[in-house]
Each structure stands twice: as C-alpha cells, then as structure tokens.
Structure 1
Amino acid sequence: MKQLLDELEKHSCDAYVAYDTSENADMRYASGFLASDPYIYVFSREGVATLIVSSMEETRARYESTCSIVTRISAGLPELLKEYHDPDLATAHMIKNFAGSRLLIPPSMPVGFAHKLAEVAEVVIDSGTIAKIRSIKTEDEITNMRYVQKMNEVAVRAAVDAVRKSEPDNRGILMLEDAPLTSERIRDIIHFALRPFSCEDIDTIVSCGEASSMPHARGTGPLYANQPIVMDVFPRSELTGYFADMTRTISKGAPSDEIIKMYDAVQKAKELAASMIRPGITGAEVYTAVVEFFQTQGYETAGSSGFTHSLGHGVGLEIHEAPSLSPSGGELKVGQVITLEPGLYYQGIGGVRLEDMGVVTSDGFDSFTCFEEKLVV
C-alpha cells in the first residue's frame, strides 16, 4: 500500500481510517474480511493495517484477514460509551485514541459518522487511493475473474440454447415446453445455471424488441421471434467477490435489415477498440475512435439514439470501477481489467450491444471472453 503511505505523508495524517461493511469494495479489498455489520479499518503511517471488530467477530477476523485484529473492548469502547452515551461519538473517540488526531478518510464514509469523527479529530478526505490501487489487478485477481467469466458463459449458453430451442406461435411469441419464453424465464435459467458455481447474478438484462433500444432496460414479458434480444449478464462470485461482464445480442430467426446492419457495425466497432488497447492509450482516445467509426457507418449519436454510453469500464470487486473508456477516460495501465461494449439503439428499431471483458497487457488486450458472436440462432 505504498500509495496510501504516500497519501498519509502528503497530508501529514496519522492514519487512514474507514468505517463500513465489506459491501464497500475498498473495505473488502483492504481488509480481506467479510462482514455485513460495519467495522473499522486503520492503516497507520508505520504501514500497519488493523481491524477493530466486535468480540464475536474476533476469531473469524483473525482467520480471514491478514490485518492485525483488535476488539472494540480492548480499544476502550465500553468505557467511552459510559462517558459519551452517543455510540457514534464514543466510536469516534475510540478511533482518535487508537489511530491519532489527524485522519485520512475515504469519500465513501457515511456522512453522519464522518461528522462525528470531525468533532473529535481533524479529518482529510482521501481522493480514492484504494480504488486506484485495486484498479490494477494481481495475477490471483485475474485468475478469479477468468473463472467467473467462464461460468458466465456456461449460464449464457443455457439461455441462448433455450431461445434456439423455442418456436414462435401465431403471434410471434417464442414458446418453450408449451409456455411462453419470457425475460423472466431466461433470467431464471441464467440464475440456476450460475448457482452450482457459487455465482450470483444481479440485475441481469434480457430485453427484447423495443425494450432493447433502452440500454439498461431489464426486460419483461414474452420474447418474440425476429426481434433483437439483448442479454447483459454480470455475475459475481460469492467466494471471491469478483465480477465478470458479458453482453450478447441474438434473434430467433432473422431480424430486420436495420438490426443486421447495426450488428455488423457494432461487431466491427468492438474489433477496432480491441485492436487499439495498449498501455498508455487513453480511454478517451479509444472511445473517440469508436464514435468516429460509427459516424462513417451512418450512425450519429443524437440524444437517446445511436451510441449513447461509454465504450467500457473497469471490472473487479465492483461491476463499474476505474478505468473508464469514455470522453473523460485516462491512460490505460497494464493489469487493468476492462470491458469493451459498443452499442447502437434506436426507438422503433431496437438495440444491439456486444461486450467482452479482458485485461490490458504489455502486448494489448487479452480477452477473457470466448463466447461466440452469432446474431441469428
């Protein structure tokens, strides 16, 4: 955590202090400890990382985390509660007594507690140092994410196979085993395919037809033949906490000529982006190249139509994290895991998106995604 030591030195702070649950990605990354109740992480100017936890969590924290473990009791919280009565104020005093009187705190610290801490100690808001550190993935992290992506492909394969096996009724509604094939059924197929691998799916997108023209519409109701079906699946491993992310657009039967042309343009845009990925190039440069390519193909972005979102984002313990491939995207670095997800969206026609995930290497883009791109199934 050299960067964190540098920040402490830069701001003349005694320690970095975070107070949150492990649902906060920075907290999970720094502590290596999973807890649904808030606990305290302290990183001192001497480079010592400590967790302050409840007594009931002490043994488990020692087992899971490489940090030093201190209980609230041994840190003096019971006596402080008798003096101050307000639990947050007592906890703030406990932190000051343990960590020092000038503290670096993350921007994500709950605002109410941050105010209490500021009553008893000087606080400096960090610029997001841990998020920057964890944007560069270790080999172990990359291995974890490759695994989740492989399981993601198993689940998406089951979903695509269900669409392939379906047949349209006289209304064009896809039927499978004498029942309509719906967005909800496809999400269930994906969910149950992921469960044996201890992966959870969150807000999976399965949108069809007009709904596919809205990039983040989850989709609901029946799926139709000859219409684009956008499947955006981003599961998380319950064991490691790492995400994967992949999008494919398919159609049961040939869709409109407009969708076929859009699919071809999106596919080529993704190939262009992948060819440009290298250390030192900015996310803004890659994004701009894709925008300009779409323009040459006759696809202008205007309001809610066309290419309406960023080209990609970092993935890790969060589904959206640094870096960004957008108009403001900075330099890409070796070890960053990113998505490439160009898309085109037009009301009255539908939408097309394709998304791969991979790591920036010294040689370019190493894709984790091995799933085929086939529009008509």
Structure 2
Amino acid sequence: MKRLLEELEKHACDAYVAYDSSDDADMRYLSGFLASDPYIYVFSKDGASTLIVSSMEETRARYESACSIVTRISAGLPELLKKYPDPELAAAHMIRNFAGPRLLIPPSMPVGFARKLTEVAEVIIDSGTIGGIRSIKTEDEIEKIRYVQKKNEIATRAAVDAIRKSEPDDRGILMLEDAPLTSERVRDIIHFALRPFNCEDIDTIVSCGEASSMPHARGTGPLYANQPIVMDVFPRSELTGYFADMTRTVSKGVPSDEIVRMYDAVQKAKELAVSMIRPGVTGASVYSAVVEFFRENGYETAGSSGFTHSLGHGVGLEIHEAPSLSPSGGELKVGHVITLEPGLYYQGVGGVRLEDMGVVTSDGFDSFTCFEEKLVL
C-alpha cells in the first residue's frame, strides 16, 4: 500500500476512508470482505487497515478479511446517534473521531454520504489511486483470471458446438433439435455450462447479422445461416470476483465476401497489436497502429461504421478497468491484464470482432486465450 501512503502524505491526510458495499471493486479489493450492505474501510497514515462493520457482521468479517475489525458500537455510533438523529451524520462523526479530521476519499463514494462527511471533516477526493494499484495484478490474481478464462472457453465451446450442429431451414433460420437456435438459447447454453464452475455470465452478447454491426447489441431472436454471429462472453467467478473476457465471430456456412475480408483484416489487426505489446509502450500507440492498419486496408472509421471502439481494456474485479488501449491510453506495465479486441462494423453488412486476453510481461504479451479462430463452421 506504499502508493496510498504516498497519497496520504501528499495531501497531508490522516486516513483514506471508503464507504460502500463489496459490489464496489475497490472496496472488495481493499477489504477482502463480501457484504451487500455498505461498510467502512479506513487506511490510516500509520499503515493500519480497519473495517468498521455492524455487530452482526463482526465474526464473519474477522474470518474473511485481513483488516482489523471494529464494530459500530465500539466505534461509538450508538452514543452519537443520541446526539445526531440523522444516521449518516452520526456515522460521519464516528469516522472523524476514529480516522481523523482530514480525510482522503474515493471518487466513487456515494455523494450523499460524502456531503455529510464534509460537514464534520476536511475531505480530499482521491484521483483513483486504488484503481491504479489494482491494475497491476499479482501472480495470485493472474491465476484466478486464467481459471475463469479456461471455464469461459468451455462455455464458448458448448455454444460453438451448438451452432455447428444446427442446420438451416428453408428460411435460413438455424434449427437445433427441431427448434430455432436463438440468441437467447445460445446464452442459456453458455450460462448452464458456466454454472458448475461457480461462474456467472452477465449481458453475454450473441448477435447475428445486422445486429452484429452494433458492437454491444446483445442479440435477440433466431440465428441465421451464412451470417456473422458475434459471441462476446465475459464471465465472473462468484468465489473470487475476477472476470475473464473473450470474443469470437463465427458463421454457420460461408458468409458474404465482405464479412470474409473483414474477418481477415480483424485477425491481422489483432496479430499486429499482440506484436506491439511490451512494457513502456502506450495503449494509445497500439490503438493508433491498429487504426492506421485498418485505414491502409480500406476500412475508414466514420460515425458508427468501421473500428468504432477502443482496442482493449484492463480486466480484473471489473470487466472494464485500467489500463486502456484507446486514444488516451497510458503506459503499459508488467502485470497489466488486458484484452485486445479489434472489430469492424458496417450496417447492411454486419460486424466482426475477435478478442483475446492476457498479461503484459517483460517479454511481451502472455495470452490466456487458447480458443481457435475459425469463421466458417
């Protein structure tokens, strides 16, 4: 936590204070404690980490978290509630009494509570120190993400196999076991393949044909032969909280020549990006090289057509976190777990996206993704 200590010293603060549930990635990372109700994390300038929790959570917090545990009762909240009937104002006074009069808080702190805190203490809003710390993954974190990616590939394999086994009817609709194969049905296949591994899928994309020209369209209804099917699967482990991320584009039968050419260009763009990844290179420079590659190959980006999103992003306790491979992407460092996901999208034609995930090493890019790239099934 050296960087957080430096921030406290820089701003002459007594402590860093966060107030949220473990749904907030920074809170889960700092506390190691899972709770759907908000609790308080305090990191003092002497380097001590403490959780202030309700009495009912005390025993569980001691079991789950490496932080020191203090209950609201022992922190004086009941007496403060007698003086300050507003529960949030009383809690703000409790924090001030426990942590000190000058506090560093995360930008994600609920604004209502942050305002109460400013009534009783000097408050400095942090610039995102914890997100920066989280972006550099430990070996343990890397193994947790690798694990989820392996399960991601098992689930995606089940989906691809279903598409491969399907056959088109006279309307071109893919049929499997005498029923239309739909986006919803493929998502269910992915969902049930992930469940035995305690992994959950949220907002999985299975988009076909025209819908595939919209990068984040989830997809709905029947899948069709000879059309691009974009599957973007990003499950999270319910046990560790870590995500994985992968995208593949397939077609049952040969799609249009335009899609075939787009697929080839996207594949080569990803290979170019992989070749450039190393410590010290900026995400912006890798992104720009891919944009230029597409332009040189006749794929200009204009409005909602072409390469319309960033090249990649960090993955961890959030599916999108630092660093970024975009026009504003900063320096890549050893330990950054990132995606590389070039794509091309054209209305009336469809879309193609391929996405791998891996870690930046001293030697380059160590890919976690072992799933083949094959357009035509």
Partner of 2:18: 18
Mapped pair 1:227 → 2:233: no
RMSD: 0.3
Name the counterpart of 1:149. 149
Query: What is the identity, as a one-letter code, of the residue corresponding to 1:5?
Result: L
CA distance in 2, matches of 1:11, 1:206: 47
Q: Summarize the alignment of residues 222-371 of structure 1 with structure 2, pairs less than 5 Å apart.
A: 222-371=222-371
How far the C-alpha of 1:10 sits from its partner, in A, is 0.2
| Secondary structure at the counterpart of residue 230 of structure 2 | strand
Which digits, 9 at most, give the CA deviation of each residue in 1:311-332, with x for residues without a partner? 0000000000000000000000
Q: Displacement, 1:296?
A: 1.1
Query: What is the alpha-carbon distance in structure 2 between the residues aligned to residue 198 and residue 225 of structure 1?
Result: 33
The unaligned stretches of length 5 or more in structure 2 are none
1:221 CA drift (Å): 0.2
**Separation in structure 2 between the aligned mates of residue 34 and residue 42 of structure 1, nearest angstrom:** 16
Look up the match of 2:84.
Answer: 84
Partner of 1:137: 137
Amino acid at match of 1:71: T
Q: State the alpha-carbon separation in 2 of the partners of residues 176 and 252 from structure 1.
A: 12
2:68 aligned residue: 68
Counterpart of 2:182 in structure 1: which amino acid?
Answer: T
The letter for the 2-side match of 1:201 is D
Question: What SS does structure 2 have at the residue aligned with 1:164?
Answer: helix
TM-aligned CA deviation for residue 53 of structure 1: 0.2
- C-alpha distance in structure 2 between counterparts of 1:295 and 1:114, whole Å: 47
Match of 2:193 in 1: 193
Q: How far off is 1:66 after superposition?
A: 0.3
Aligned pairs for 1:25-64 within 5 A: 25-64=25-64
CA distance in 2, matches of 1:38, 1:339: 31
Once the two structures are superposed, residues 142-175 of structure 1 have per-residue CA deviations (whole angstroms, 9 ceiling, x without a partner) of 0000000000000000000000000000000000
- Following superposition, the deviation at residue 372 of structure 1 comes to 0.2
Can you list the C-alpha shifts for 1:306-358, whole angstroms capped at 9, x where unaligned? 00000000000000000000000000000000000000000000000000000
**How far, CA to CA, are the matches of 1:199 and 1:223 in structure 2?**
25
Q: Distance in 2 between matches of 1:159 and 1:13?
A: 52
Name 1:118's counterpart in structure 2: 118
Identity %: 88
Alpha-carbon deviation of 1:105? 0.3
Q: For 1:124, what is the secondary structure of its paired residue?
A: strand
| Structure 1 segments unaligned to the other structure (5+ residues) | none
| Structure 1 residue 59, shift from structure 2 partner | 0.4
CA offsets, 1:239-275, max 9 Å, x none? 0000000000000000000000000000000000000
Q: Does 1:215 find its partner at 2:181? A: no
Q: Distance in 1 between matches of 2:148 and 2:61?
A: 26
Number of aligned residue pairs: give it. Answer: 377
TM-score of the pair, normalised by structure 1:
1.00
Letter in structure 2 aligned against 1:61: A
Query: Counterparts of 2:177 and 2:233 in 1: how far apart (Å)?
Result: 24
Over 6 Å off, 4+ runs: none
Q: Distance in 2 between matches of 1:299 and 1:323?
A: 26
Q: Distance in 1 between matches of 2:231 and 2:256?
A: 18
Paired amino acid for 1:299: Y
Alpha-carbon distance in 1 for matches of 2:101, 2:141: 35
- CA deviation map 1:264-311 (0-9, x unaligned): 000000000000000000000000000010011100000100000000
Q: Could you report, residue by residue, the CA deviation over 1:107-135 in whole angstroms, capped at 9, with x for unpaired residues?
A: 00000000000000000000011110010
- Shift of the alpha carbon at 1:92? 0.2
3-state SS in 2 of match to 1:210: helix
Give the TM-score taking structure 2 as reference length.
Answer: 1.00
